[in-house]
């Protein structure tokens, strides 16, 4: 324990409070910049088109048709795929019904993109 900081004066306490708040802000702003840089790297990486397969790799690619199997086309009128994270399909169906009921809108007018469990 730093003895000179046990009994603080008002001015000293005010200075520590302001400095502390600035340090928290500075720390999180710097972290935000790091996360933004990280995000821009991953986004640009995701946007880059996959490199064209070389001639030597072609036969291998053809030999594995299962990997290239195209997705089945979406059913007419569908709002797209719903992604579930840590959520049972049964729970998801119940959540969608609850949301439809709470918002007073029929399910065919709502679009659910993903359902994620938030743990306590």
Partner 1 sequence: MNVLETLKTLALESGFASFFMAGGWKNFIMIIIAFVLLYLGIVKKFEPLLLCGIAFGCLLSNLSYFVVHMGGDNALYHPELWEAFLDSSSPYYHSYGHIMSNAGLLDFFYIGVKAGIYPSLIFMGVGAMTDFGPLLSNPKSLLLGAAAQLGVFVAFFGAVLLGFTGPQAASIGIIGGADGPTAIYLTTKLAPELLGPIAIAAYSYMALIPLIQPPIMKLFTTPEMRVVKMEQTREVSKTEKIVFPIVVSTFVILLLPSTAPLIGCLMFGNLARETGVTDRLSDTMQNALMNIVTIFLATSVGATMVGDNFLKLDTIKIIILGLIAFSISTIGGLLGGVAMYYGSGKKINPLIGSAGVSAVPMAARVSQDVGRKYNKTNFLLMHAMGPNVAGVIGSAIAAGFLLSVFG
Burial of 107 (0-12, 13-18, 19+ CB in 10 A): middle
Site string for partner 1, 81-100 (x = CB under 8 A): ----x---------------
With contacts defined by CB under 8 A, how many residues of the chain interact with partner 1? 42
**CB distance 72 to 100 below 8 Å:** no
Closest CA to 68 of 80, 53, 82, 48: 53
| 50/71 Cα distance (integer angstroms) | 18
> Both tokens of residue 30?
């710097």
For residues 9-68, which are near partner 1 according to CB under 8 A? 10, 13-14, 16-18, 20-21, 23-25, 27-32, 34-36, 38-39, 42-43, 46
In whole angstroms, how close is the CB of 56 to partner 1 at the nearest point?
27
In whole angstroms, how close is the CB of 14 to partner 1 at the nearest point?
6
* Element of type H or E holding 83: strand 83-85
Identity of the residue, 46 or 75, whose beta carbon is nearer to partner 1 in the bound complex: 46
Enumerate binding residues for partner 1 (CB under 8 A). 1-2, 5-8, 10, 13-14, 16-18, 20-21, 23-25, 27-32, 34-36, 38-39, 42-43, 46, 85, 102-105, 113-114, 116, 118-120
């Amino acid at each position: 324990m730093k003895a000179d900081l046990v009994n603080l004066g008002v001015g000293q306490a005010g200075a520590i409070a302001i400095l502390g708040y600035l340090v928290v802000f500075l720390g999180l702003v710097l972290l935000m910049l790091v996360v933004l840089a990280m995000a821009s790297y991953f986004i640009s990486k995701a946007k880059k088109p996959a490199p064209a397969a070389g001639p030597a790799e072609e036969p291998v690619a053809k030999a594995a048709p299962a990997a290239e199997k195209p997705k089945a086309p979406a059913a007419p009128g569908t709002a797209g795929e719903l992604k579930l994270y840590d959520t049972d399909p049964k729970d998801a169906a119940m959540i969608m019904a609850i949301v439809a009921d709470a918002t007073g809108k029929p399910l065919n007018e709502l679009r659910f993109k993903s359902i994620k469990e938030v743990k306590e």
